[in-house]
Amino acid sequence: MEQRVEARRSRTRDDIIAAAWRLAEREGLVGLTLRDLAAEVGMRAPSLYGYFDSKAAIYDAMFAAAYRDLDAAIWAPEAWATDPGEDPHAWLVAGAEQWLAFCQASVPRYQLMFTRAVPGWEPSPEAYAASTDSFTRMREALARAGIREDRDVDLWTALVAGLAAQQIANEPGGQRWVALTDRAVRMVLHEINERTAP
């Protein structure tokens, strides 16, 4: 019996987080209010406290859900038919494009995951662990493509994060910076190989 209750409760929590993301898409990440959120799921604001301790806990759950979505989008099996060691360039371009598309698909989500856009909130240690896990998986994949050293990884993340930041800040929804992905990958791989080889 208790399992059924817990399962139902968990489903309601998921509904609330899904509704929170719908609202954030419409009203902006910081435009999210508990009244609006409750209305979106057919409740009144105080009822949300039966599912989450605070608004910060809701942002935490949104954050964790976003990283689960990222992992699902990035590691979709059909995208990774190729072997990273065989053609690192093609493999890295595909990965970067997938990551950039994920960022562009939702600006509020990008803001919550990768910038400090919510005043007074930062992920709790538990929520932060979800992002660390995701990053670890990415590092392993980069290593298979030849990007292994800390400094090389930092250079890679700076470049891809820069493409996303410029694209979103200056031409949201466009392709001006995203279109540079192929060239950026070639550039980074050349730099890393030149430094490693001789």
Partner DNA sequence: GTCTATAGGGTGATAGAC
Partner DNA sequence: GTCTATCACCCTATAGAC
Where do contacts with DNA occur on this chain (CB under 7 A)? 5, 8-9, 12, 32-36, 38, 42-47, 49-51, 54-56
Q: Which of 125, 151, 173, 198 binds its own copies (CB under 8 A)?
A: 151
Cα 191 to Cα 62, 164, 178, 181, 186: the distances in Å are 37, 21, 20, 15, 9
Phi/psi region, residue 108 (left: phi>0; alpha: psi -120 to 50; beta: rest), is alpha
Residue 91 contacts which entry, its own copies, DNA, none (Cβ below 5-8 A, type-dependent): none
Cα 141 to Cα 43, 70, 100, 156: the distances in Å are 43, 15, 16, 13
Residue 85 contacts which entry, its own copies, DNA, none (Cβ below 5-8 A, type-dependent): none
Q: Which of 115, 175, 193, 196 binds its own copies (CB under 8 A)?
A: 115
- Written as one letter, the residue type at 179 is A
Q: Looking at 52-60, 64-72, 90-98, 158-166, which segment touches its own copies (CB under 8 A)?
A: 158-166
Q: Is 160 in the site for its own copies (CB under 8 A)?
A: yes
> Which position has the token pair 């930092």?
154
Measured from the CB atom, the residue of 14 and 133 that comes closer to its own copies is 133
Measured from the CB atom, the residue of 12 and 98 that comes closer to DNA is 12
Cα 89 to Cα 14: distance, rounded to the nearest angstrom: 38
Residue 124 contacts which entry, DNA, its own copies, none (Cβ below 5-8 A, type-dependent): none
* Six-digit token string for 155: 């250079």
Q: Is 163 in the site for its own copies (CB under 8 A)?
A: yes
Q: Which of 58, 94, 138, 184 binds its own copies (CB under 8 A)?
A: 184
Dihedral sign of CA atoms 12, 7, 68, 81 in order: negative
- H or E element in which residue 183 lies: helix 181-196
Cα 175 to Cα 116: distance, rounded to the nearest angstrom: 24
Residue 8 contacts which entry, its own copies, DNA, none (Cβ below 5-8 A, type-dependent): DNA
DSSP 134: H
- For its own copies, the binding residues (CB under 8 A) are 28-31, 114-117, 119-120, 151, 154-155, 157-163, 165-166, 169, 176-177, 180, 183-184, 186-188, 190-191
